[in-house]
Each structure stands twice: as C-alpha cells, then as structure tokens.
Structure 1
C-alpha cells in the first residue's frame, strides 16, 4: 500500500513564454531589416543624351596644381604662383576665346590656398 505524501502529481504544462519571446524577437528583426520602398509622387522626365559624341577634350584649358603648389597650364609651368601671373598665363594661352572651358586638377596633397588661388 502506498501512503500518499503531501505532494500531488502536478498536471502536465507547456511553458510557452520563452516561445513567445523568441517569436517577438524574430518579428522585430524582420520588421527592422525589411526595406520599405517609397515611390515618389512627382513624375520627372529625365533628359536624354544625344547619340553623337562631341570631342571637346582638345578645347579644354587644363590648370594643374602639384603637391608643392606649382601651377601648370597645358603642361607649361607658371614660374610665379601669384594670381596676376596666373591670369596673364591663362590669357596668353587661351587668347580671345572666353568660352573655352577650364579644367582645374589638383594633387591630393595640394594645399587649399593653391587651389583657391587657381580658382581666383
């Protein structure tokens, strides 16, 4: 004969709290990583390029500035780095053509003042 102790046999129970925590974590992960696409309401007509290529590289006036701050205009060095001398050299090389594009190229280690002087 079995004498019953003070403990009752507990009913079988499934603990779902940890499952709910995992599901909420996954739901938050997917919501945060989902990309939401917003379509703009403004309709824009983009310009199209012509099929003919124009060779304008020969017409550009190139001003180069090296790391030491020396100026070169179309591979000719300007000896004096003053603004007036640089203007005179550009005028001499460009001539009367005021519509000629000027391309300014500077070395990565060039001081900002040299680039500003060339832009002036």
Structure 2
C-alpha cells in the first residue's frame, strides 16, 4: 500500500512581468544617458553671398516646362533628349570662354527633364551650371 500522497509536479513557469519591468528601466536609463551626436557624411563649407553685388547675366538659359519641353534662350526646342539638347548647347556657347548655363525649371517639371538638361550641359562641355529660384515672400526663415 502506498500511503504517500502523490505530489503534483507543476511545470516550471517563467514570470515575464518582472523581466519586462527591469528591461524597461534599463531602456529608460540608456535613453537618458546616451549622448546623441550628429555625424555628417561630408564636411563642406557653403559659399556666402552679399546682396550688394549682382551676378553677370547668364550666358545660356535652358527653360524646362512642366510637361518636359525645353527652350534655349527663350526659343522652343523640338527635342527632349540629352544628346540633341547638347548639340544645341554647343552651338549656343560656341566661341565663348568659360560658358555658364542656368536651368530655369518649372516646379512641376520631372526630375528626369532637369537631369537631361544637366547631362546635355556635361556633354556640351559646360562646367558651370546653376538653377534659378524664386523667393516666397510668405515663407518664414
């Protein structure tokens, strides 16, 4: 006869609540003690300009419309790719020393249209490329 009581063997349980509490306190401590620093990928010095001097007018202006059409110095161009645009740019800057190009792109123009104009300038040998912008009088600085 077996007079001993049977012991019910309970499965061991891991109580996760204290573990979560400890991890939360550690996370708060790490977040409070960590110093966040801003790492820059490139160290650059931006140029400064004064309002007193005015730049010389651009030698060549390419206008990019919202639908991807181009105009060179106010004349509409029929083509839309970089190779043929570069031929027109070469003809426009022929005989000029250190030609510069200003790209006047509509706000609704696609990035590809602007990149095509930049690529055409590279193919035409124009190293100085700039963009026109307009100031928004209602914007806060």
Matches within 5 A, 1:9-28: none
Compute the RMSD of aligned alpha carbons.
Answer: 2.2
Gaps of 5+ in 2: 1-47, 120-141
How far the C-alpha of 1:87 sits from its partner, in A, is: 0.4
How far the C-alpha of 1:96 sits from its partner, in A, is: 2.4
1:12-69 per-position Cα deviation (integer Å, ceiling 9, x unaligned): xxxxxxxxxxxxxxxxxxxxxxxxxxxxxxxxxxx897x7x56621x52111001010
1:56 equivalent in structure 2: 56
How far the C-alpha of 1:98 sits from its partner, in A, is: 4.3
Larger RCO: 1 or 2 (CA < 8 Å, sep 6+) = 1
Gaps of 5+ in 1: 1-46
Larger radius of gyration: 1
| 1:112 counterpart = 2:111 | yes
Counting matched residue pairs gives: 71
Structure 1 residue runs of 4+, over 6 Å off? none
Question: 1:113, 1:55 → 2: CA distance?
Answer: 28
How far the C-alpha of 1:94 sits from its partner, in A, is: 1.3
1:81 equivalent in structure 2: 80
Question: 1:73, 1:48 → 2: CA distance?
Answer: 27
